[in-house]
Amino acid sequence: MDIEIKKSIKPVNYFEAIDLLESRLKNITANKEKELIWILEHPEIFTAGTSYKENEIIDKSIDLLKTNRGGKITYHGPGQLICYFVIDLREKKDIRKFITTIENTIIQSLKKYNIETFADKENIGIWHEDKNKIQKIAAIGIRVRKWIAYHGFAINIDNNLENYKKIVPCGISDKSVTNLKKISNQDYSNLNNEIIENFISNLKI
């Protein structure tokens, strides 16, 4: 497995990131470039996946970018760890297993910080339960083209949760969103490396 690991220190413009993913997907399809795992952060932006509905926009004044990823509406911004990828599934051809790989990667990585999380078959993403209150800690949105998977997932570390009140996050109205700092005030500076290590390990299974 030959995967390029890319880490961006400064926030990356959303359009520039998607252009790079699309270019890499095209080149991987033609067997011209390596697969990619890319850790980054975006400036503030609201994005809508292919299955969003207009009534999921609460604050009609927000600028909403429609994308070609799966899923509904979410928010990206400072304090959020984003892991984009372009991964070749042409041999395995198992999308469900790939999503499980992503879920397990996040769950295992957060367990290193003694934070217990879980996946929900009914609601995609990773969740945390505290005092019988279930809150989303990570969002997942992928697209598969010619068995190449791309886009990625986002883990809330210390981002502005107020922005989620402007939308129905991921189309789920009966559950709220949290971040790692609210759950446990720790140093998460090495979380990106945990994610990369676990992701690569799980992809080999």
* Residues acting as catalytic residues: 170
Which amino acid would we find at residue 167?
Answer: I
Which residues, other chains included, contact 155 with Cβ-Cβ below 8 Å and sequence gap of 6+?
80, 81, 83, 106, 110, 126, 137, 138, 180, 191, 195
Residue 137: CB atoms within 10 Å: 24
- DSSP annotation of 68: S
Q: Give dist(CA 99, CA 141) in Å, integer.
A: 10
Tokens 């009140």 sit on residue: 165
Residue 48 in tokens: 């809508």
Residue 92 in tokens: 């395995």
Phi, psi of 59 (to 5 degrees): -95, 105
* 154 close to 105: Cβ distance less than 8 angstroms: no
Residue 24 in tokens: 């890499």
